């Protein structure tokens, strides 16, 4: 059952917790695709049978079982020790892996320098996205963990399911700075032992990395029962090059330079980028991973709403 | 000021300041070029891959556009600088000595052809003026007018342009055909007197095929440059009377005369023209002729004249662009009788000689005034040109050894269209024939050789005629008569036929030739291998003798009018009756001006020679106030065909190692030859092409 979360209950305000946007998302819920593994009772079906109000089956008592689980009524009638099995509703844990490499800074102050107006950077967008989803998950009683990374894990906030945890998440996002290059496969392997409880792994990144290595790493999570969701965040000027006369492009991570007229290379660039996106999409579809390409031009509550709507339909269908 | 760049000269170099315009696109390019700002960009690897798929040319297209625009401006600038390509005719090193230029200007009759109010002569005059206008210090020039006899302004090349211009202003087309080889020889002769500098011969002409196809350029030195400047139309439209022939050429009183006129159409269109004939103070004859393109038609007028005398006639068609050949003059000599001159060294008192029999056969009734044919006899030593000129047919019989003078007179008579019958009756005949052949310098080849005298009388035998060519006019009337075979011949020469020479008319039954003819120029020599005396044959006893002699005379009468027409530029002559010492003889040209001539008086009349003719018309001999004789002078028909010789053929004629230049057939062509070929339009064309390329590049850049 959803609980109301008052994000302004404390005097602190957080950059990525926008009340109007969260109010817009208030009536949405993040549905679990299947049974989830949770330590606390919650709204999602659990893979563990235990005590609960919904009876499922009996089994013979085995040494080591909790004697409190023996159904004494059955013993009274049949003189057999049996245990009553019930489906337990548990909490869902959602692990956010958020890319904070240098490439995620694209679009922020740079946009103002070239076009005179501020524009949201990929990192900010990713943070807003993570905060909004965390709010929704915490609001429906689930737990959320946050891991930020570039070429390695930079911070890890273990899973928590309270309002104060939302504040911790928001603070952690706010305190992070983008830097260095990305190496997602390495990060995924590094995070694997940290994420002890099965749940949903949400990776928010621009995925300018080795796709094959990333999917190999994700296969570990999938085999362990994680559901994986990939949010591919790209700036609108990455999807369509800015209309400038001549630009000296500098690679955000390697520092490499290339001078060109964007208009000249737009078509060929678009083909190359689309090929990269198609590779990720194909890899995700093959593994039944949710993949959502989001442009920073799309207002993030809308992007969250659209994704959740699609997810709800998929869950209902399955 | 003129700047020379290799062989390209810039006529308008003042516009070099315009080169600054070239900086305009460069400046625009540089000014609009922004320094690229640094942009930290995450997806650089896709950009790199995208650029790797694009060609270098694509990356350089802005530079290409800039270069194209600069080249475009450069071409426009060069076009305004008026570049001209300097060909060899004008090209001259600063250290080089002046040129020696001989200008050979055609002033023949065809240069007077007028089309659309302009004549080739006027164009030629303008061309010469253009050459004179390009005179440079140190140059020497001379002007040679190409006529029958080339006429040079100076004896050697000069820098006196004033006199050259004066001569040029006064020159008119003459009704003559040019002697081009003589003009070239004159030019070469003058050039050889100059050792320094370049030698150039300019030919300014309409380059008629008829006159130029056989010009010999070999006499021109190899280092002499030949420059050909064609003027006039390439195929002028012209109709001309090209010939007037009289049949018979020397008619007698009341004899039917056919005047055959040839009219030629040298154009590509057919024409229907009135052809008129008019005699001085006489009636007009007229008929229509239809002329197909590039064809000649013959049209005849038939008439009889009942009074002996000399008649001046003219045939004419309506005037066209070339007037001088639309009228043709002729003189019709109507004789009272046919005059036969018998040349014989036999005793005129002997009544039994072959000559005596021939004389009686020619005119059986010498006392009668009605005789159509009369003869006169002269010895071979006394035969003169005037004797021969008055005779329509000459018969040689019983001639002893011919003197050179007599022989050459007879040959000249033959070569001017006369006819001679030679009866071989003496041992000298063989030698005389050989001498005539030798004196003619190859113009006369015997159809057979006389190898020895056959005397059948000693064996009491004889020969008869066994083979006859009845197609020949002399024997045609005897075709149906078997009497020719009845004639008996006892003495004649054995003959050896010369292959393919002459025509055999009669053969004896032993195969020897009895009669043969051969052509000597336009004249005919009839060789009769028999004598007319009783010692040689019984031919005089036979009734066929007189008809045979008259058929010989008739057949030998001139068929072409050797004395009826002369070519302008050449000498002409005529004969008149004898004059007394009191009578004043005056010679006049067609314009009525008194001219000088040679007058040779002999017993029978006076031969008058006009040594040079300069106009078409009648050159007349006046005795007192009356016209005693006249000679018709006409234009050479070569001048009527205005078709130009193909320049490629002309170039072939004037082949290597000489350097030849050909101007296009207009004033611009000559200017191009003298000043250089203007190139500005090529530059402008290239600029337009570059403009198109620039537009294509702009489209490429934009899309």
- The CATH number of the domain holding residue B167 is 3.40.50.410
Residues B519 and B463 in one domain: yes
With CB atoms and an 8 Å threshold, state whether A251 touches B42: yes
Residue B173: the pLDDT is: 92
- Domain with residue A201: its CATH number is 3.40.50.410
Counting the structural domains of chain B, the total is 5
CA nearest neighbour of B124 among B140, B135, B112: B112
Say if B473 falls within a structural domain.
yes
Residue A89: the pLDDT is: 46
Residues B669 and B535 in one domain: no
Say if B302 falls within a structural domain.
yes
Report the gap between the CA of B699 and the closest CA in chain A (Å).
Answer: 13
* B95 pLDDT above the threshold of 60: no
Instruction: Label residues B649-671 b or e (16+ Cβ within 10 Å = b).
Output: ebeebbeeebbbbbbebeeebbb
* Lowest mean pLDDT across A42-51, A117-126, B313-322: A42-51
* B318 pLDDT above the threshold of 50: yes
Residues A233 and A305 in one domain: yes
Which residue in chain A is spatially nearest to B39 when comparing CA positions?
Answer: A249
C-alpha A192/C-alpha B528 separation (Å) is 144
| Signed CA dihedral, A30, A31, A34, A37: sign only | positive
- Residue B34 at interface with chain A, using a CB cutoff of 8 Å: yes
CA nearest neighbour of B261 among B277, B243, B279, B275: B243
Say if B124 falls within a structural domain.
yes
With CB atoms and an 8 Å threshold, state whether B42 touches A206: yes
Per residue in B332-386, pLDDT (tens digit) is 888 888 889 999 998 888 888 889 999 999 988 877 777 788 888 999 888 888 7
- Complex ipTM over 0.85: no
Per residue in A132-176, pLDDT (tens digit) is 999 999 888 888 999 999 889 999 999 988 888 999 999 999 888
The single-letter DSSP state of residue B35 is: P
Residues A30 and A49 in one domain: no
- Domain with residue B414: its CATH number is 3.40.50.880
Residue B483: the pLDDT is: 80
**How many A-B residue pairs are in contact by the CB < 8 A criterion?**
91
Confidence class for position B154, pLDDT limits 50, 70, 90? very high
C-alpha A232/C-alpha A254 separation (Å) is 21
Residues A50 and A156 in one domain: no
C-alpha B545/C-alpha B361 separation (Å) is 7
The enclosing H or E element of B607 equals: strand B606-610
Mean pLDDT of B574-580: 81
Say if A158 falls within a structural domain.
yes
Residues A105 and A242 in one domain: yes
Q: B3 or A132, which is more confident?
A: A132
Residue B697: the pLDDT is: 81
The enclosing H or E element of A50 equals: strand A41-60
- Residue B57 at interface with chain A, using a CB cutoff of 8 Å: no
Structural domain span for residue A151: 19-35+92-317
* A66 pLDDT above the threshold of 60: yes
Residues A60 and A27 in one domain: no
Residues A174 and A208 in one domain: yes
C-alpha A163/C-alpha A137 separation (Å) is 11
**Cβ contacts of A67 within 8 Å, gap of 6 or more:** none
* A299 pLDDT above the threshold of 70: yes
Say if B517 falls within a structural domain.
yes
- Write the DSSP string, A241-291: ----S-EEEEETTT--EEEE-HHHHHHHHHHHHHHHHHHHHHHHHHTT-EE
C-alpha B237/C-alpha B265 separation (Å) is 8
Counting the structural domains of chain A, the total is 2
In A121-231, alpha helices (H): 122-139, 163-175, 184-191, 211-223
Report the gap between the CA of A83 and the closest CA in chain B (Å).
Answer: 59
The answer to whether residues B422 and B527 touch, using CB atoms and an 8 Å cutoff, is: yes
- Residue B55 at interface with chain A, using a CB cutoff of 8 Å: no
The enclosing H or E element of B374 equals: strand B373-378
Mutate to test the interface with A, among B50, B51, B57, B58 (most CBs of A within 10 A): B50
Helix A184-191 to helix A211-223 angle (10° resolution) is 20
Residue B4: the pLDDT is: 46
Which residue in chain B is spatially nearest to A246 when comparing CA positions?
Answer: B36
Residue A108: the pLDDT is: 79
The enclosing H or E element of B687 equals: helix B680-702
* B584 pLDDT above the threshold of 50: yes
Which residue in chain B is spatially nearest to A104 when comparing CA positions?
Answer: B42
Say if B94 falls within a structural domain.
no
Centroid of chain to Cα B310: 28
Q: What is the largest CA-CA distance in chain B?
A: 144
- Residue B42 at interface with chain A, using a CB cutoff of 8 Å: yes
Centroid of chain to Cα B260: 21
Residues B465 and B584 in one domain: no
The answer to whether residues A42 and A92 touch, using CB atoms and an 8 Å cutoff, is: yes
Per residue in B261-274, pLDDT (tens digit) is 999 999 999 999 99
Per residue in A192-239, pLDDT (tens digit) is 998 888 889 999 999 988 889 999 999 999 998 899 999 999 998 888
Residues A125 and A30 in one domain: yes
C-alpha B585/C-alpha B599 separation (Å) is 9
* Lowest mean pLDDT across A55-64, B597-606, B633-642: A55-64
Residues A84 and A126 in one domain: no
Instruction: Label residues B48-67 b or e (16+ Cβ within 10 Å = b).
Output: bbbbeeeeeeeeebbebbbb
In B203-262, alpha helices (H): 209-212
Kindly report the average pLDDT of chain A as a whole number. Answer: 82
Q: Which of A110, A113, A272 sits opposite B50 (nearest CB)?
A: A272
Cα-based angle B349, B351, B357 (whole degrees, multiple of 5): 125
* Lowest mean pLDDT across A82-86, B12-16, B17-21, B673-677: B12-16
Residues B167 and B289 in one domain: no
Mean pLDDT of B88-106: 71
Residue A49: the pLDDT is: 46
Per residue in A17-55, pLDDT (tens digit) is 888 888 888 888 887 665 444 444 455 554 444 444 455
End-to-end CA distance of chain B: 48
- Token pair for residue A26? 């208030």
C-alpha B492/C-alpha B483 separation (Å) is 20
Q: In what order do the strands lie in the sheet with B256-265?
A: B239-247, B256-265, B295-304
Q: A58 or B691, which is more confident?
A: B691
C-alpha B234/C-alpha B643 separation (Å) is 6
Residue B634: the pLDDT is: 93
Per residue in B209-235, pLDDT (tens digit) is 999 988 888 888 888 888 888 888 887
With CB atoms and an 8 Å threshold, state whether B49 touches A268: yes
C-alpha A142/C-alpha A161 separation (Å) is 6
Kindly report the average pLDDT of chain B as a whole number. Answer: 85
């Amino acid at each position: 059952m959803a609980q109301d979360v008052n994000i302004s209950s404390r005097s602190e305000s957080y950059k990525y917790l926008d009340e109007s946007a969260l109010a817009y998302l208030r009536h949405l819920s993040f549905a679990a695709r299947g049974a989830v593994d949770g330590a606390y009772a919650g709204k999602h079906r659990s893979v563990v049978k235990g005590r609960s109000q919904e009876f499922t089956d009996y089994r013979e008592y085995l040494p080591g079982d909790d004697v409190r689980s023996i159904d004494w009524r059955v013993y009274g009638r049949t003189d057999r020790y049996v245990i009553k099995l019930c489906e337990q509703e548990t909490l869902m844990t959602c692990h956010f892996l958020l890319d904070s490499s240098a490439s995620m800074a694209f679009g922020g102050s740079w946009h103002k320098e070239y076009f005179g107006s501020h524009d949201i950077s990929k990192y900010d967008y990713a943070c807003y996205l993570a905060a909004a989803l965390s709010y929704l998950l915490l609001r429906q009683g689930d737990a959320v963990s946050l891991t930020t990374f570039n070429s390695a894990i930079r911070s890890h906030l273990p899973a928590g399911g309270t309002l104060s945890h939302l504040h911790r998440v928001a603070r952690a996002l706010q305190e992070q700075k983008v830097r260095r290059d990305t190496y997602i496969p390495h990060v995924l392997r590094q995070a694997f032992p940290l994420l002890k409880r099965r749940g949903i792994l949400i990776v928010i990144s621009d995925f300018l990395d080795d796709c094959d290595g990333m999917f190999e790493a994700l296969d570990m999570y999938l085999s362990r029962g994680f559901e994986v969701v990939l949010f591919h965040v790209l700036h609108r000027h990455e999807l369509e090059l800015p209309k400038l006369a001549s630009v000296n492009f500098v690679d955000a991570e390697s520092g490499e330079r290339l001078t060109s007229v964007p208009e000249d290379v737009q078509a060929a660039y678009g083909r190359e980028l689309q090929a990269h996106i198609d590779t990720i999409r194909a890899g995700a579809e093959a593994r039944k991973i949710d993949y959502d390409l989001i442009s920073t031009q799309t207002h993030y509550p809308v992007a969250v709403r659209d994704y959740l709507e699609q997810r709800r339909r998929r869950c209902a269908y399955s | 000021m003129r700047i020379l760049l290799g062989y390209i000269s810039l006529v308008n170099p003042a516009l070099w300041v315009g080169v600054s315009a070239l900086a305009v696109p460069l400046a625009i390019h540089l000014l609009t070029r922004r320094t690229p700002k640094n942009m930290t960009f995450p997806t650089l690897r896709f950009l790199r891959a995208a650029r790797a798929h694009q060609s270098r040319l694509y990356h350089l297209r802005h530079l290409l556009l800039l270069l194209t625009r600069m080249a475009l401006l450069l071409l426009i600038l060069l076009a305004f600088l008026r570049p001209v390509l300097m060909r060899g005719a004008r090209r001259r090193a600063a250290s080089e000595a002046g040129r020696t230029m001989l200008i050979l200007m055609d002033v023949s009759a065809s240069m007077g052809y007028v089309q659309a109010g302009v004549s080739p002569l006027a164009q030629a005059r303008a061309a010469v003026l253009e050459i004179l206008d390009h005179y440079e210090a140190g140059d020497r020039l001379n002007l040679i007018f190409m006529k029958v006899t080339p006429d040079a302004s100076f004896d050697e090349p000069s820098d006196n342009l004033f006199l050259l211009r004066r001569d040029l202003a006064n020159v008119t087309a003459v009704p003559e055909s040019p002697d081009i080889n003589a003009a070239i020889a004159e030019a070469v002769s003058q050039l050889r007197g100059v050792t320094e500098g370049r030698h150039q011969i300019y030919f300014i002409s309409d380059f008629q095929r008829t006159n130029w196809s056989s010009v010999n350029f070999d006499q021109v030195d190899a280092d002499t440059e030949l420059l050909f400047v064609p003027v006039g139309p390439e195929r002028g439209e012209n109709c001309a009377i090209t010939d007037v022939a009289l049949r018979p050429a020397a008619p007698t009183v009341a004899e039917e005369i056919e005047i055959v006129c040839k009219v030629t159409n040298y154009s590509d269109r057919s024409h229907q023209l009135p052809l008129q004939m008019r005699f001085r103070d006489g009636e007009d004859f007229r008929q229509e002729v239809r002329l197909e393109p590039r064809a000649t038609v013959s049209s005849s007028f038939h008439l009889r004249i009942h009074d002996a005398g000399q008649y001046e006639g003219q045939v004419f068609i309506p005037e066209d662009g070339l007037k001088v050949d639309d009228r043709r003059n002729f003189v019709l000599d109507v004789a009272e009788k046919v005059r036969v001159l018998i040349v014989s060294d036999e005793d005129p008192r002997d009544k039994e000689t072959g000559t005596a029999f021939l004389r009686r056969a020619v005119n059986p009734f010498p006392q009668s005034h009605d005789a159509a044919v009369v003869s006169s006899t002269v010895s071979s030593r006394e035969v003169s040109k005037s004797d021969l000129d008055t005779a329509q047919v000459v018969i040689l019989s019983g001639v002893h050894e011919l003197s050179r003078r007599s022989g050459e007179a007879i040959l000249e008579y033959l070569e001017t269209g006369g006819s001679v019958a030679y009866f071989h009756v003496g041992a000298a005949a063989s030698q005389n024939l050989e001498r005539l052949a030798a004196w003619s310098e190859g113009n006369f080849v015997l159809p057979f050789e006389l190898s020895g005298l056959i005397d059948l009388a000693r064996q009491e035998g004889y020969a008869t005629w066994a083979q006859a060519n009845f197609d020949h006019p002399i024997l045609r009337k005897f075709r149906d008569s078997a009497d020719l075979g009845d004639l008996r011949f006892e003495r004649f020469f054995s003959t050896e036929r010369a292959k393919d020479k002459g025509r055999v008319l009669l053969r004896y039954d032993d195969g020897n030739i009895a009669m043969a003819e051969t052509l000597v120029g336009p004249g005919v020599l009839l060789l009769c291998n028999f004598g007319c005396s009783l010692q040689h044959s019984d031919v005089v006893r036979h009734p066929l003798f007189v008809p045979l002699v008259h058929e010989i005379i008739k057949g030998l009468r001139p068929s072409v009018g050797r004395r009826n027409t002369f070519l302008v530029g050449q000498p002409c002559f005529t004969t008149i009756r004898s004059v007394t010492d009191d009578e004043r003889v005056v010679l006049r040209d067609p314009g009525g001006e008194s001219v000088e001539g040679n007058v040779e008086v002999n017993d029978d009349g006076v031969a008058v020679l006009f040594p040079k003719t300069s106009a078409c018309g009648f050159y007349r001999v006046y005795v007192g106030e009356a016209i005693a004789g006249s000679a018709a002078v006409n234009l050479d028909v070569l001048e009527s065909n205005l078709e130009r010789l193909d320049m490629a053929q002309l170039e072939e004629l004037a082949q290597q190692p000489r350097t030849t230049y050909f101007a296009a057939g207009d004033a611009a062509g000559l200017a191009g030859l003298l000043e250089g070929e203007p190139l500005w339009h090529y530059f402008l064309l290239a600029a337009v092409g570059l403009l198109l390329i620039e537009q294509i590049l702009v489209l490429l850049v934009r899309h």
